Structure 1
Amino acid sequence: MDTTYTGDVTPGGAPDVRELPHLRITKLAVDPQMSNNCYLLTCRSTGESVLVDAADDAAALLRLCDAALEGVVTTHQHWDHHRGLAEVVAATGATTYAGAPDADAISEQTGIAVDVRLQHGDRIVVGDQSLEVLAIAGHTPGSVALLYADPDGHAHLFTGDSLFPGGVGNTFGDEQAFATLVHEVETKVFDRLPDDTWFYPGHGNDGRLGDERPHLAEWRERGW
């Protein structure tokens, strides 16, 4: 495995690339104000790829992609995660994916139809590899995370805005949404995946589940 990857990227800066045995992960930050992370996942044997969140700066995203871009997954309906979607889809013809409860809102905001409405347990094929869909409600009703179970290494989880180093995503003062999000993250992520799982959020630096696991009770108590 490539040991040079840090995941530390800044808007306007170069992408960071992680070379796994079968999958290449390219992380790019866009928009100085929101600093969204976009991830291009490429099958190393076929060259086919899927983009996670066409958040902004479609021109920069298209420079990462090529004719083998098969799909764009929007992790949730918030405006800052799909500003580049229409332009990327127009240029590539990529299939669009989103969690079913968020799909209509994404289409209304972008003018782009969601081709595949994702449910928990669905799989998205990336060349010879695949991503498992984890539906994680709370930050939005239809937020999804994507799990790549590396057959020759540890798991990799793309969490959108549902999980960050230091806590779960913002629920904007909604106590019920927060309780839902913490429960979903605990049962679908921490109860299932091991400590060496590396996760990639929608903003900021990456994390490891083992570093966050001891703080679950603290997050629940503080309410954010």
Structure 2
Amino acid sequence: MKYQIIPVTPFQQNCSLIWCEKTKRAAVVDPGGNIDRIQNEVTKLGLVLDKIILTHGHIDHVGGAKALAQATNVPIIGPHIADKFWIDNLPKQSQNFGFPHCDAFEPDQYLQDGDNVQVGEQSLSVLHCPGHTPGHIALFSAQSKLAWVGDILFRSSIGRTDFPQSNHQDLIHSITEKLWPLGVDVEFIPGHGPISTFGEEREHNPFVADQLLL
């Protein structure tokens, strides 16, 4: 699986353009905004966009999804249905966070734990990882040892749990019981900031390092 990180929105959210190198079929993970920038990368790389995948319902991750889907005629996949209330509340989110007005929308498909999403000949496993939001999902490419984790985990930090229906214990459980078993050598792309590996975070992350959770 190949990928290109495209920072979008004033929050510098890590939107990812991911693709199968063999087929050039592609997906966009978390198009929070700046859809012209995203479309330009698709064109520049000679890719065919198949779908949009959402990790969770916060506006900096989904704010551009409807416009991009309409512009490219592709479906919106994810997140888990437990985040429906966040997507339904996008007009209020845009006010609260100072974003341009954003209409609510209905994804073409919600995702469940254990689902698989195809991108060309590449397969992404879906892990339901509540905590930051109740319907947050992560995506894992076993072949490439790559994970897209949205706002669950960051380099040297973890997701906030002060939002409606956030839960700190659920977040810790999602990290330790869903992400860590994928392997210490797995590289992950967070929703914000630099990439890291699960092994690095298990050793040094001040919130979820192994020695803190014994």
Q: Which category describes the TM-score, using the shorter chain as reference length? A: 0.7 to 0.9
* Structure 2 residues not aligned, in runs of 5+: 91-102
Q: CA deviation at 1:34?
A: 0.6
Q: CA deviation at 1:104?
A: 4.8
Distance in 2 separating the partners of 1:179 and 1:126? 32
* Structure 1 residues not aligned, in runs of 5+: 1-22
Structure 1 partner of 2:195: 206
SS in structure 2 of the partner of residue 116 of structure 1: coil
Q: CA deviation at 1:129?
A: 0.8
Structure 2 partner of 1:168: 158
Contact in 1 for aligned 2:133/2:163 (Cα 8 Å): no
Distance in 1 separating the partners of 2:32 and 2:164? 25
Q: CA deviation at 1:73?
A: 0.9
Distance 1:87 1:176, change over 3 A: closer
Structure 2 partner of 1:65: 42
Distance in 2 separating the partners of 1:30 and 1:42? 19
Distance 1:177 1:24, change over 3 A: same
Q: How does 1:101-140 map to 2 (within 5 A)?
A: 101-109=82-90, 110-140=103-133
Distance 1:173 1:102, change over 3 A: closer
Counterpart residue type for residue 89 of structure 1: A
Once the two structures are overlaid, the 10-residue window that deviates more, 106-115 or 54-63, is: 106-115
Counterpart residue type for residue 134 of structure 1: L
SS in structure 2 of the partner of residue 183 of structure 1: helix
Contact in 2 for aligned 1:103/1:117 (Cα 8 Å): no
Query: Do structure 1's residue 38 and structure 2's residue 18 form an aligned pair?
Result: no
How far does the alpha carbon of each residue in 1:71-113 deviate from its partner, in whole angstroms, 9 at most, with x for none? Answer: 1111111111112112211111111111221135325524332
Distance in 1 separating the partners of 2:116 and 2:145? 15
Distance in 1 separating the partners of 2:140 and 2:65? 22
Distance in 1 separating the partners of 2:166 and 2:51? 33
SS in structure 2 of the partner of residue 72 of structure 1: strand
Distance in 2 separating the partners of 1:181 and 1:69? 32
- How many percent identity over aligned positions? 30
Distance in 2 separating the partners of 1:187 and 1:107? 29
Structure 1 partner of 2:29: 52
Distance in 1 separating the partners of 2:35 and 2:24? 20
Distance 1:214 1:48, change over 3 A: same
Distance in 2 separating the partners of 1:46 and 1:30? 26
Contact in 2 for aligned 1:52/1:72 (Cα 8 Å): yes
TM-score if structure 1 supplies the norm length? 0.80
Larger % of strand: which?
Answer: 1
Q: How does 1:172-191 map to 2 (within 5 A)?
A: 172=162, 177-190=167-180
How far does the alpha carbon of each residue in 1:116-151 deviate from its partner, in whole angstroms, 9 at most, with x for none? Answer: 11000100010111100011000000001100112x
Structure 2 partner of 1:156: 146
TM-score if structure 2 supplies the norm length? 0.83
Count of aligned pairs: 196
Q: CA deviation at 1:219?
A: 3.8
Structure 1 partner of 2:60: 80
Structure 1 partner of 2:69: 89
